[in-house]
Amino acid sequence: MTGKSRISGLYAVTPDEPDTALLVVGVRNALAGGASLVQYRNKTADAALRLTQARALLAICRRHYVPFIINDHLNLALEIDADGLHLGGEDGAIAAARARLGSRKLIGASCYNVLQNALNAEREGADYVAFGSFFASGVKPDAVRAPLDLLQEAKRRVSVPIVAIGGITLANAPQLIAAGADSIAVISALFAAPDVKLAAQQFNALFK
């Protein structure tokens, strides 16, 4: 997949799953349910497993014409020719990543609970910004919490798409969308659901 894509709808972020076969099934079902973006995030895998999993997931995303984003690892994104990179606050400069990835790749930035981070990221060339955690998160229990009105303020002052993340469920997602989130990034409530495809469909329906 080449070129930029509009960031909207369900943004599927992978769990720390060591079993590549299980991970592939989960992502395949999320895509079948309408996930519009997939981010590969595995904080426990070694480099070899990350490469194996990223290649497998990229192939699935290509078949669905859905952008595949790598979390943190610029060299991995370059090695497999991923569609983009998501950078946390300590993962390097956006400008440096852009110089290596080129203009056609997506770059997203975690902005936590700070609007100025998003303004800076947009100025430096980010294609989307992410705020959170908006709710208690089992994946990152110690994450800073972002207030709902941050989305409203960001919607007024930021021109790139806005992603909300952190403890998002079918029950609390509507308030984030109403406050201005263009996309919701979901891990547990999607991949730990009894039916991943159905969960993806239900999240997507919130944007209709």
Residue pair 107/125 in contact (Cβ under 8 Å)? The answer is yes
Angle 141-195-162 from CA coordinates, rounded to 5°: 50
140 in catalytic set: yes
Mark whether 41 is an active-site residue: yes
Phi-psi region of 166 (alpha: psi -120 to 50; beta: other; left: phi over 0): left
- How far apart are alpha carbons 173 and 187 in whole angstroms? 13
Q: Compute the distance between CA of residue 84 and CA of residue 143 in angstroms, rounded to an integer.
A: 24
DSSP code for 205: H
Gap between the Cα atoms of 127 and 159, Å rounded: 10
Q: Which one of the listed residues 28, 55, 140, 145 is annotated catalytic? A: 140
DSSP class of 185: E
| Annotation says 208 is catalytic | no
Token readout for 135 is 């709710």
Select which of 110, 133, 137, 183 is catalytic: 110
Known catalytic residues are: 41, 110, 140
